[in-house]
Amino acid sequence: MKTELNGHSGCGLKLFKQYNTVYVKKSSKEIEYNERLKAQCKKQKEYKADKLKVVSVLREGYANGLFYFDMEYISGITLAEYMRNISLSEIQNLTNLLMEHHSRRNFYDRQAKKIFLKKIKEIEQKIDLTNSSIKEAVKILEEYDWSYVIHSNCHGDFTLENMIMANNSIYLIDFLDSFYDSWQIDFAKMLQDIELYWHYRNEKEIDINLALRLLILKENLIDRVLEMDEGEHLLETIYHILLLNVLRIFPYTKEEKTWIFLIAKLDYVKNIIIKKDWL
Amino acid sequence: MKTLIVPCAGKSSRFPGMKPKYLLTYPDGKLMVEKAIEGIELRDFDRIIITIVKEHEEMYDARIILEQIFGNQSKFEIVVLDSFTSSQSETIALTLDKAKVEGEFWVKDSDNYVKAPIGEANAIVGLNIGTYDHEINRLGTKSFLIVNEQKNIVDIIEKKITSQYICIGVYGFEDTSVFMDAYMKLSKEKNGMGEIYISHVVSYLIGRKICVFKYIEANEYEDWGTVEDWKIVQKKHASYIVNLDGVLVHNRSKYGIMNWDSEFITIDSNVERLKMLSDEGAQIIITSTRDESQRDRICELLKQNGILVHQLILGCNFSPQIVINDFSASNQYPSCSAVSIPRNGNLKDYI
Ligand SMILES: Nc1ncnc2c1ncn2[C@@H]1O[C@H](COP(=O)(O)OP(=O)(O)OP(=O)(O)O)[C@@H](O)[C@H]1O
Ligand SMILES: [Mg+2]
């Protein structure tokens, strides 16, 4: 049995059945992608996620020179979908679960600044700096001092669609090597869907049920960061990373609609940073 | 201090071409706003505030009319807003501020009838559609409540049929600050929340675990949200002017072997139909060419058959009957109609 799963990348994602159990095969579509997928597989195998679960890798190998790995099939729905119908009373539990992932001990990495500034420079090469929104965003990022970055374990692509909700647990998939490892990077990626609606960008209108639930989740999460030592600094860093994330999407943007969406979000995040208007 | 607020500051856009809907006359002669609070125990409240807008005060004498209705009650107040609001929660926020409301307050929609035992806030009055035996219009536009065994509301889902409990526009808040803080939060939300319903404010309070809301079940409910709803109510309470002979009883003449004094032979299916209309709220007026000497017999007959008669008009002409009525936006054309049935024929074939 073979069924396609819908993904975004060039990766093939198929359901197979063997000895009466279903599993998922994720395979590289071109040789150039092998190393990336191999790294993903390695990260997925080694990742320690405390209260969150990681989908287990069953086996890995090559077929026709293309790397693949098989993993357990999780019968559930992604957090992106789950948020549409989550009970209001359950959002607090979800917050707790997600915060397990983000409450790493404080230890500011003095090397981080160099890495972030290098990344910003790299993005500058790839985007249209004549646009004033983009230019201002770059300026904000360059002027930020990046001294409240915590080095920690990091999923690398912590979007709501890379978390599958099943049996009251969150299962993580689709790990990615990040230019820097910090829970703040994951937190910012989460806000990209929860606050900027990136995952939901093609919907004509965000359903009010979803909008309310995302808002409540966002405020819960932000409350929790603000409760940490020097929480406001940590949060400020997160929003700068979020701004950086939005900028990073521009080079891949082909559709005008998406471009307009991103510019609006860039201004939105900039405003939050300037006004320190977190909640 | 416990305050009841009845917001009447909407544009009534679902009632085009009419006066503000809360001033429309219910079939029993009371105005919609009066009917809207009829099912609520007003003794429990220290202040009762009706919020209207200036335009309605100026164009429709809204203030004068409300004072004529409620003026003799000292706890009754009117708050006039300068302009229409964008949502019911904005109306409430402005009212709380303008009237300096403090402590516990309740909101009651002005466009429905709810009979319910109002208890302590925080609470929402809901309707159990599983046990409610009337039709509910536009079910898909309601807010649905998930209630746990402690009668606490654990979830509110907008416009998706997800439970048997619906919100019917009666909300109690333990304190004005609880409502105000949440409303301000939502209205200033950076992503924009659109029209903020009171149920959204409650959702936010539940989701953020700021308050727990109790579920109170309504005993009776009637909705007047749209002209269609209102027309249904008007139709339910229509006046039926019904001729006796040949419609409810077998036709008799004054003279002959079988005459007015003979025993009535009821046309059972028609009597049954009329009783049904009467039970649903129709006003029944019986006319007959029979004379006054027959009054007691006829009254007795109708009473035996469970038909509540508003008037019995005797001594009518032996001639056709014609009903004349005016029509308008609030009592739309045709504001009267007539049904001629064959003598002793079946009413169910016609109405
Ligand atoms: N093990 C699994 N069990 C159940 N569903 C899965 C599993 N792996 C993937 N899916 C489903 O497929 C979707 C896409 O998977 P995945 O995130 O691995 O691919 P992708 O986003 O296309 O990859 P990439 O980010 O590498 O480009 C997921 O959001 C999820 O709905
Ligand atoms: Mg993915």
Residue B135 has pLDDT above 90, yes or no: no
The pLDDT-based confidence of B330 (bands split at 50, 70, 90) is confident
Subunit contact A87:B160, Cβ cutoff 8 A: no
Structure tokens at B265: 């032979």
Q: Which residue of A has its CA nearest to B154?
A: A89
Neighbours of ion ligand 2 (CB under 5 A): A 162, 174
Q: Give me the domain span that covers residue A13.
A: 2-72
Q: What is the pLDDT of residues B54-72, one digit of tens each?
A: 999 999 999 999 999 998 7
Q: Say if residue A62 is in the same domain as residue A15.
A: yes
The response to whether residue A165 sits with its C-beta less than 6 Å from ligand 1 reads: no
Q: Say if residue A144 is in the same domain as residue A251.
A: yes
Q: Say if residue A53 is in the same domain as residue A181.
A: no
Write down the architecture of domain B2-226 according to CATH.
Alpha-Beta Complex (3.90)
Boundary of a domain, candidates A32, A57, A72: A72
* Residues of chain B neighbouring A219 (CB-CB closer than 8 A): 208
Chain A residues near any Cβ of chain B (below 8 Å): 85, 87-89, 91-92, 195, 197, 206-209, 211-213, 215-216, 219-220, 268, 271-272, 277
What CATH number is given to the structural domain containing A48? Answer: 3.30.200.20
pLDDT computed for residue A106 by the predictor: 67
* CA A162 to ligand 2 centroid distance, Å: 5
Reported as type and span, the H/E element at residue B57 is helix B54-60
Answer yes or no: are the C-beta atoms of A255 and A264 closer than 8 Å.
Answer: no
Q: Say if residue A180 is in the same domain as residue A216.
A: yes
Q: What is the pLDDT of residues B340-351, one digit of tens each?
A: 999 999 998 888
> Whose structure tokens read 């009467």?
B278
State mean pLDDT over B205-234.
Answer: 94
What CATH number is given to the structural domain containing A102? Answer: 3.90.1200.10
pLDDT computed for residue A9 by the predictor: 61
Q: Say if residue A124 is in the same domain as residue A175.
A: yes
- Among A164, A169, A171, A178, the mutation site with the greatest number of ligand 1 atoms within 8 A of its Cβ is A164
The response to whether residue A13 sits with its C-beta less than 6 Å from ligand 1 reads: yes
Residue A235 has pLDDT above 60, yes or no: yes
The response to whether residue A15 sits with its C-beta less than 6 Å from ligand 1 reads: no
Q: Which residue has the higher pLDDT, B15 or B202?
A: B202
CA distances from B334 to A106, B17, B119, B325, B338 (A): 76, 16, 44, 9, 10
Q: Whose CA is nearest to atom 29 of ligand 1?
A: A161
Summarize chain A as % helix, strand, coil (round to 5): 50, 15, 35
Q: Which residue of B has its CA nearest to A91?
A: B207
The pLDDT-based confidence of B146 (bands split at 50, 70, 90) is very high
Cα separation of B346 and A78, whole Å?
61
B208 touches chain A (CB under 8 A): yes
Residue A15 has pLDDT above 80, yes or no: yes
Helix (H, G, I), strand (E, B) or coil at A142: helix
Subunit contact B200:A92, Cβ cutoff 8 A: no
pLDDT computed for residue A155 by the predictor: 95
Instruction: Report the Cα–Cα distance between both ends of chain A, in Å, rounded.
Output: 49
Helix (H, G, I), strand (E, B) or coil at B180: helix
Residue A101 has pLDDT above 90, yes or no: no
Boundary of a domain, candidates A48, A72, A96: A72
Subunit contact B193:A208, Cβ cutoff 8 A: yes
Q: Given A89, A195, A215, which is nearest B206 (Cβ)? A: A89
The response to whether residue A160 sits with its C-beta less than 6 Å from ligand 1 reads: no
Across A155-159, A167-171, A237-241, B8-12, least confident range: B8-12
Cα separation of A240 and A112, whole Å?
13
- Among A9, A13, A193, A252, the mutation site with the greatest number of ligand 1 atoms within 8 A of its Cβ is A13
B157 touches chain A (CB under 8 A): yes
Q: Given B154, B160, B207, which is nearest A213 (Cβ)? A: B207
Nearest partner of B37 among B137, B106, B124, B84, judged by Cα:
B106
Q: Say if residue A134 is in the same domain as residue A9.
A: no
State mean pLDDT over A91-112.
Answer: 88
If you compute the radius of gyration of chain B from its CA atoms, what whole number of angstroms results? Answer: 25
Subunit contact A197:B191, Cβ cutoff 8 A: yes
Mean pLDDT, rounded, of chain A: 93
Subunit contact A272:B203, Cβ cutoff 8 A: no
Beta strand A57-63 with A66-72 is antiparallel
Q: Given B158, B190, B209, which is nearest A208 (Cβ)? A: B158
> Whose structure tokens read 């035992």?
B117
Answer yes or no: are the C-beta atoms of B269 and B346 closer than 8 Å.
Answer: yes
Helix (H, G, I), strand (E, B) or coil at A21: strand
Structure tokens at B88: 């019911």
Complex-level ipTM: 0.92
Q: What is the pLDDT of residues A141-176, one digit of tens each?
A: 999 999 999 999 999 999 999 999 999 999 999 999
Cα separation of B138 and A162, whole Å?
37
Q: Say if residue A154 is in the same domain as residue A236.
A: yes
Q: Say if residue A16 is in the same domain as residue A140.
A: no
The CB density around residue A56, as the number of other CB atoms within 10 Å, is 13
Q: What is the pLDDT of residues B255-277, one digit of tens each?
A: 999 899 999 999 999 999 999 99
pLDDT computed for residue A100 by the predictor: 87
Nearest CA-CA distance, residue B62 and chain A, Å: 34
Residue A1 has pLDDT above 60, yes or no: no
The pLDDT-based confidence of A11 (bands split at 50, 70, 90) is confident
* CA A158 to ligand 2 centroid distance, Å: 9
Residue A8 has pLDDT above 70, yes or no: no
Q: Say if residue A10 is in the same domain as residue A127.
A: no
**CATH code of the domain made up of B238-349:** 3.40.50
State mean pLDDT over B219-243.
Answer: 93
Q: Say if residue A54 is in the same domain as residue A173.
A: no
pLDDT computed for residue B329 by the predictor: 85
Mean pLDDT, rounded, of chain B: 94
B190 touches chain A (CB under 8 A): yes
The response to whether residue A82 sits with its C-beta less than 6 Å from ligand 1 reads: no
Boundary of a domain, candidates A72, A103, A121: A72
Q: Say if residue A12 is in the same domain as residue A149.
A: no
Contacts of residue B211, Cβ cutoff 8 Å, sequence gap at least 6: B122, B174, B178, B205
* CA A162 to ligand 1 centroid distance, Å: 6
Q: How many domains does chain A have?
A: 2
* Residues of chain A neighbouring B191 (CB-CB closer than 8 A): 195, 197, 206, 211, 215
Q: Say if residue A35 is in the same domain as residue A128.
A: no
What are the residue ranges spanned by the domains of chain B? 2-226, 238-349
- Among A24, A38, A174, A198, the mutation site with the greatest number of ligand 1 atoms within 8 A of its Cβ is A174
pTM for this prediction: 0.90
Nearest partner of B96 among B198, B16, B22, B13, judged by Cα:
B198
Phi, psi angle pair for B342, to nearest 5°:
-60, 150
Residue A116 has pLDDT above 60, yes or no: yes
- Among A3, A5, A157, the mutation site with the greatest number of ligand 1 atoms within 8 A of its Cβ is A5
The pLDDT-based confidence of A25 (bands split at 50, 70, 90) is very high
pLDDT computed for residue A104 by the predictor: 66
Subunit contact B190:A268, Cβ cutoff 8 A: yes
> Whose structure tokens read 């995952």?
A199
Structure tokens at B191: 């992503």
pLDDT computed for residue A7 by the predictor: 59
The pLDDT-based confidence of B12 (bands split at 50, 70, 90) is confident
State mean pLDDT over A79-89.
Answer: 97
**Which atom from ligand 1 is nearest to the alpha carbon of A157?**
25
Q: Which residue has the higher pLDDT, B350 or B170?
A: B170
